[in-house]
Structures are given as structure tokens and as C-alpha cells.
Amino acid sequence: MKAPSLSLSQRLLLLTAVALLPALAILGFNEFTLRKAREAEVHNFALRLSELAALEMDRVITGAGALMVAVANVPVVQDGDSGCETYLDRLGVLLPQVTLINITDLDGNSICANSKVAGDLRPEVSTNVRAELRSAFFRVGEYTESSRGPGLLMGTQRTAADGTINGYVLATVSLDYLGQLLKERPFAQGSALTIADRTGMIIAREPFPEDFVGTRIPDAFMSRVTGTESGTMQVVSQDGTERILGYQPASRPLGLYVSAGSGLTDAMAPINDATVRGVILAAVGGLVALLLALSFGRQFIRRPVLRLLRTIRAWRSGDRGARTGMVGKAEFHQVGEAIDELLDELSQRQLAQQEAEQHRDLLARELDHRIKNLLATVQAVARQSFRNSDVAEESLQAFYARLAVMADAHKLLTSRHSESASVDAVVETAIGPFFGKEHPRFIVSGADVELHAKAALSLAMALHELCTNASKYGALSNESGQVSIGWALTEGHKLILTWRESGGPPVVPPSGKGFGSRMIERALAADLGASVTFNYSLAGLTCTIIAAETALLDRQETGSRPFQPVRAVMDRT
């Protein structure tokens, strides 16, 4: 995947943001650690609250138990005479928190009570407590309803003078009294305290006692009521508040389930406030760091970089005197000095190159002049040598034409100041003398391919011979014929050039190879490493030349361009 292109300012901001990541990671780790530590504190605090509430309830229950023991040993209660009820009535007035006192026999039948309501004195009310009192001196029972309101049933043994159990003292503690005790306790915001009997019936609750007292704890939490170990848990209470709850199971000697919850939101408020402040400070600090990075980056990084770029652009635009002028030990100054040294060196090289090109142009013009003189001399010698001979004029003209093609090819090489020529230029040079101005006779198409000088000369001579043959016998011998010349590179980096004639007179295959055919095959084989194939079909001659890779100046891209007519290089009269 391609990397996104970022400006220098964006890179500086990104670098600063990456540099801030460790600080943010440390801040996040500290926040996580503080929250875990705070949660552990809240769990421990909730457990301590539940233990403290259980101790308070134990104090209340122990006081009630002591009262019941004292009542059991009062003579009027022991004797069960008529003064017992009067005593219990007076005791009920003095102790309003104890709503019902009932003295029973072993079967739970009432002997003496401060209530005359038969439903309050039914033996079935105390069945569970009496069963436990057979083996225990004092027991806390369950939630019970009486004519004097809901209460918590408790019981203790009543013994005879010889120490045998002869009945029980049963009493109910008012739930209003228990609720008042909870209400008087200090409560933190979001805290809650719940007291329930061993069956899960809630007998006291703060806050919102009116919504919970007399209801059972949900089944999902009953395992805490009936369990054997105290502990803590995070729950959403029945009032919808999320709390850390510490609890004491009803299996403890107290016989009551006690839970104390601390509101998680309120408990974590200091941490949340600190987190908000930390995030705000981190955001402000990060923003300040980014702004400082952007400001200092523009001053100490962007400006030197822009100075370097301006110098390079000015030099490329033609200002050869442009220099950064930066000197110093800083990295940007060292880069500026290196660029200045490079520009000085390039300027010197350009001057040397200009001098070398001027010298080469002089030599090229001299070479072109000498080659023209040499070819002119050869032509003059030939005229003198063949003046009185019986050589046909047509042969002399063909010889002169070949000399002209060689001259054009040499001119092509020297005008390009190179030791190579493109196939396109060679083709244009060869077909120039045979090109009609008004009616183009050639269609040329091919890839951009460079040939060595020797190969270019040989190909020019071969194409001249093909043009000469076409003008005598082939497509150029009438007014409607055309010649198509196309070339391309193969995957193996071989050059394939095809000469295809069409529209000329019917082709008659020659009985043997002439000078032109032999010259084409031998010259191209020697200079291009090429193989030449002639196909004398009735529609027109097709010549295919396959040149080796050694004829090419360099490996070129394969492909071709669309056929299009080319203009004549020059006209000869």
C-alpha cells in the first residue's frame, strides 16, 4: 500500500503526537491503577460497614434477649399467676419497642401475654423458634405479623427451679423501632443498609423502607443470605442504584442477614473528577505541544527546507548563480553547503560540456565536409572512369543514387551529434527521394528504436535498394501503389521490420538473385546480424528483416505507433 503524502507541518504534528503517546499511556495506566485501588477501598469499606451494622444489630438483639431472660425469671412469670399479665402490660408500656410478649408452655400454648388477640398467641407462629430453642438458650426467629404490627420474633428458654425447660418466653421487636435505629445512623450519599431474616424477608431498610420492608430479597441474591461467608459484590440494587455491597449471611450467630452498600458513583466521584481534570490538562498540554511543535517547526525546520527548495528551483529555472548561502555545523546548514558545492560542480561541468559540444560540433561539421568531399571525389572519379566505357547509364545512375543515400545517412548521424540513429529517421532518409508530394506513397509505423551507426547505414542502403526495385518493377512503378513499412521489438529484444508493397503490377518472382538482393542480405547480416526473407506474392512483394539485439543501441520498450505518412527528407531534381 502506498504511504500517504504528508507535508512537513503534518509530519511534525504527527511526530509530536507520537511523542505524546508514552505520556498518555502513563496517564492511562495511572488512571487504571487509581480506579482499581479506589474500587478495592470501596469494597473493603462496604465490608466494614456491613460488619459494623451487624454488630449494632447484635447489640440490639442481645439487649432484647437479656430483657427476655429477666422476664423469664420474674416470680410472677415463673408462677404464672394472675399478676403476670399485669406485669407484662406495664412492661409493654415501658418498652414500646417490644410489641408482644408471650409466655408459653413447651407446646407453644400461651400461659401469660400482653395481648388478648387469639391470632397473636397461636402456637404455629412460634413453631420454628421453639424447635431451635430445644437446643439453644436464645434464638432470633423470623418476620411475623401481629395485631400490633409487623415485628421480628425472638425466643428464650423458661426453666423451672430444678433447671428443666418448662416453656418459652416469646417476644416481637417492632420493625418501626429497627427502622428508626437505621434512620438515626449517618449515611453517605448513595449508601444503603438492609436487614433481613433467614428466609430473606426484609425487616429493615434505609433508604426507602416503605418500598422494601416486608418484601423478600430477590432469588438472585439468596445465596448470600443462606451462605456461610461474608464478602462484597458490585450490584445494581433494587432501587436502581449501582453499589458495592458488603454482606453478612444469616447463618452467623446473629441469625440475620445484614448488607451495607456504598454508591459506586459517589464513591468514584473523586476519581472521576480527577480523571476529567487529567483529561482536560492532557488535552490542553497536547494542544500546546502541537502548537509549539508547529511554531518551532516552521521557524527551525520549514524555513531552512523552503530556502533549500527555492535555491534548487531558481537554479533549475536558469539562475545559475542561485546558492543557499548556508554555512554552519547544523544539519540543514551542512545540507545547504553540500547543495552549494553540488551546484558549483554542476556549473563547472556545464561549462565544460558546452565547450566539449562546441568542439564536437566543429569536428562533426569537419567530418561531414570531408565525407561530402570524399563522396564527391568518388563520384567524379567514377564519371571519369566510366566516360568512355560501355557501362549502361542506368547502372551509373543507380551507383550515384547509392552514394547519395550514403551521404544522407552520414549527414543524419553527424547532424544528431551521435553514433546512433533512430529507425524512423533512417526510414525517412531512405524513402525521401521516392516520396510524392501530392500523393503520399509510403505509410510508416514503428517503435522508438535506436540503431548503432554501422547498422543504421546498412539499413538505409537496404531500404534504398527496396525503393529502387519498387520504382522499377513494384508498387512505385504505377500511380496507385503504396508501400507499408512497419517495425517493432519482440519480447526477446529483436527488431522486426516489414516492407510490404500493395497496389502495384502483379509480381513475377525473379529467376535468380540480383545485386540488390544480395547486397541487402549480406550487408544486413554483417551489420545487423539480421535474417532477410523475401515473399513474392501476386499482390505485392513482402520483405521481412529480423535484426539481432546487438544492432540496437539499448533495449527499448516494445510496441508501435499508428501508421501515418511521413514527409520527404529532401527532393532531388
Question: Residues 163-185: pLDDT tens digits?
Answer: 788 888 888 888 888 888 888 77
d(CA 526, CA 422): 19
Tracing cell 497496389 back to the chain, one arrives at 503
How does residue 542 score in pLDDT terms, banded at 50, 70 and 90?
very high
d(CA 289, CA 181): 58
Q: Domain ranges in the chain? A: 37-267, 413-551
As beta bridge partners, residue 497 has 487, 545
CATH number of 37-267: 3.30.450.20
Say what the pLDDT of residue 356 is: 78
Say what the pLDDT of residue 394 is: 66
What percent of the chain has pLDDT above 90? 4
Per-residue cell: 400: 550515384
Query: What DSSP designation does 329 have?
Result: S
Nearest C-alpha neighbor of 558 from the set 497, 486, 494, 484? 494
CB 46 within 8 A of CB 245: yes
Of 214-228, 311-325, 520-534, 559-573, which range is least confident?
Answer: 559-573
Question: Cα 103 from chain centroid?
Answer: 80
Per-position DSSP letters for 489-544, written without gaps between them: E-TTS-EEEEEEEESSSPP---SS--HHHHHHHHHHHHHT--EEEEEEETTEEEEE
d(CA 558, CA 84): 126
DSSP H helices, 264-330, are 264-267, 269-297, 303-316
How does residue 483 score in pLDDT terms, banded at 50, 70 and 90?
very high
d(CA 57, CA 173): 12
How does residue 262 score in pLDDT terms, banded at 50, 70 and 90?
confident
Per-residue cell: 53: 451494622
CB 205 within 8 A of CB 195: yes
CB atoms within 10 A of CB 90: 11
How do residues 421-478 score in pLDDT, each as one tens digit?
Answer: 888 888 888 887 776 544 578 899 998 888 887 788 788 888 888 888 888 888 888 8
CB atoms within 10 A of CB 261: 27
d(CA 106, CA 565): 133
Of 166-180, 290-304, 481-495, which range is least confident?
Answer: 290-304
Per-position DSSP letters for 192-216, written without gaps between them: EEEEE-TTSBEEEEES-HHHHTTSB
As beta bridge partners, residue 498 has 486, 544
Of 205-219, 366-380, 542-556, which range is least confident?
Answer: 366-380
Assign 230 to helix, strand or coil: coil
Element at 168 (helix H, strand E): strand 165-174
- The third-level CATH classification (topology) of the domain covering 413-551 is Heat Shock Protein 90 (3.30.565)
d(CA 424, CA 563): 12
As beta bridge partners, residue 142 has none
DSSP H helices, 73-174, are 75-79, 83-94, 127-133
d(CA 82, CA 76): 8
How does residue 499 score in pLDDT terms, banded at 50, 70 and 90?
very high
Tracing cell 399478676 back to the chain, one arrives at 83
Tracing cell 424477608 back to the chain, one arrives at 201
pLDDT at 568 over 50: no
Residues with Cβ < 8 Å from 389, sequence gap 6 or more? none
Helices 175-184, 8-72: inter-axial angle, 10-degree rounding: 140
Higher pLDDT, residue 204 or 253: 204
Compute CA distances 359 → 250, 301, 352, 419, 437, whole Å: 114, 46, 11, 16, 38
Per-residue cell: 197: 431474616
d(CA 62, CA 213): 22
Higher pLDDT, residue 56 or 496: 496
Assign 450 to helix, strand or coil: strand
d(CA 16, CA 3): 19
End-to-end CA distance of the chain: 64
CB 309 within 8 A of CB 20: no
pLDDT at 307 over 60: yes
pLDDT at 300 over 80: no
54-65 b/e (C-beta count within 10 Å ≥ 16 → b): bebbbebbeebb
pLDDT (average), residues 102-131: 84
pLDDT at 557 over 60: no
d(CA 543, CA 329): 69
As beta bridge partners, residue 159 has 165
- Whether the predicted model's global pTM rises above the 0.75 cut: no
Per-residue cell: 512: 535468380
